[in-house]
Homo-oligomer: A and B are copies of this chain.
């Protein structure tokens, strides 16, 4: 997958664009390799030099985007000296939403067709990994009020489902707003969030 050679770069780019254009036009399982090749202006055999089949292609496209989340760039603000934990989380979450926003056309294609049932889980795995790293940076080996795995699972499940919902509903809030909602709920908890009182 190292695309040093210009021909390889151009071929891979062509295949990706061709495939995404076709995904807009028809269902995944109606797409043939020949159609992908024709649009990309490559020979069908060339497709097989780079991918096993169209499932492999889709998987690699998804993985490429997960990698962007995994290898998340941490602006200084994420971890600035003396920053509040809360703001550090907020920045990280906001950044994840921004990344997803950049690729939202791709995700929408998958989500709205319900062709990738596991996309939410892919989000969750990636976000879990990001926050495991973040926890190590912030807390080292220090003990926390609850078991670390419990915190991480709770948090990444919440964020990934919010992400999925956000894209599936045409991104009705900004990444900034979404991050703020999540931090509020993670600070106060959803129950305290709605107030603790008697039901009418």
Q: Using CB atoms and an 8 Å cutoff, list the residues of chain A in contact with chain B.
A: 6, 9-10, 13, 41-43
Contacts and interface: CB of A to CB of B under 8 A. Distances in A.
Contacts of A9: 41
A9 B10 CA distance: 14
Tell me the dominant secondary structure on chain A's binding face.
helix
Contacts of A43: 6
A14 to B, nearest CB: 8
7 contacts: A6-B41, A6-B42, A6-B43, A9-B41, A10-B10, A10-B41, A13-B41
A43 to B, nearest CB: 6
Nearest to A37: B6
Most buried by B among A9, A41, A42, A43: A41
A32 B121 CA distance: 49
